[in-house]
Amino acid sequence: QVQLVESGGGLVQAGGSLRLSCAASGRSFSIMTYTMGWFRQAPGKEREFVAAMRWLGGNTYYADSAKGRFTISRDNNKNTLYLQMNSLEAEDTAVYSCAAVKLYSGSGYYSDKVYDYWGQGTQVTVSS
């Protein structure tokens, strides 16, 4: 079983920055063997893809809304996934969750249906 715990959310003014963390753990867990993703869900809206990092090689993918503002990264030694968010906008307000799927190399990294493990989420609120 894999456990994912997000942190780093909070209240920030528009134009500000936040860095989210997702600490992953489990029996013999290695973040390098998991494709990891960040998703978000705003009130009354569907959960949407934000960014993903492919296992091993670490190729990264972003939603159009995140390109140029957000950066996904990981620390292999700490088994931790990050999402650096800059130039935040009110529209970025949502609960952000990280997700993981082992050894996934398909093209569906943007779909929440692909991922097997989810964290509880962390609230990000951007005031305008």
Which 8-state DSSP code applies to residue 120?
Answer: -
What tokens were used for 60? 């990264």
pLDDT of residue 112: 97
Compute the distance between CA of residue 43 and CA of residue 37 in angstroms, rounded to an integer.
20
∠ Cα 40 122 29 (to 5°): 90
% of the chain exceeding 70 in pLDDT: 100
Q: 18 pLDDT band (50/70/90 cuts)? A: very high
Token pair in block for residue 123: 């609230």
**Per-residue pLDDT tens over the stretch 28-43:** 899 999 999 999 999 9
| Distance of alpha carbon 109 from alpha carbon 101, whole angstroms | 9
Cβ(21)–Cβ(80) below 8 Å = yes
